[in-house]
Amino acid sequence: MAEQKPMTMSEDIRGWGVGLLIMGVLHFVLPFLSPEWGMVLIPLGILSLIIRHRGMFIVIGAGLIMVGLLNIAGSIDAGGGFWTIFGGLQIYWGIKEMAKFARYGREPEETLSADGEPLN
């Protein structure tokens, strides 16, 4: 079996950017999702594709936590259910994404190009 190399920070953020763009478009297509959130997810996805800095993990994580809290709050009136559980998962994922900020840490200056990209 071929050995898999670990994902780089840039690849991780790019993956989030693509995923956020797809989710944003789905919010305009699927009737049970709110188009307002599509207008939040698409710009966040574009930013994730443009800004490949570890600070994006804080932005993405904070967004997930906020959406999770809103899903929980909105589902309380309806008696809980799926959106309460999903909101809890979103909060968990948000915390995990914010932890990546520390995990990736700062790259040594000599391994970065002038635009901040790794020289590999």
DSSP category for residue 31: T
**Category of 31 on φ-ψ map: left (φ > 0), alpha (ψ -120 to 50) or beta:** alpha
Mean pLDDT of 14-40: 93
Q: Looking only at Cα atoms, what is the longest distance across the chain?
A: 55
Helix (H) or strand (E) segment spanning residue 23: helix 9-29
pLDDT computed for residue 108 by the predictor: 47
DSSP category for residue 114: T
pLDDT computed for residue 64 by the predictor: 93
pTM of the predicted structure, to 2 decimals: 0.77
pLDDT in tens, 29-73: 999 888 999 999 999 999 999 999 999 999 999 999 999 999 899
Q: At residue 111, what is the residue type?
A: T
pLDDT in tens, 88-120: 999 999 999 999 998 888 654 444 444 555 555
Q: Is 105 helix (H, G, I), strand (E, B) or coil?
A: coil
| DSSP annotation string for 30-99 | -TTS-HHHHHHHHHHHHHHHH--STTHHHHHHHHHHHHHHHHHHHHHTTTSSHHHHHHHHHHHHHHHHHH
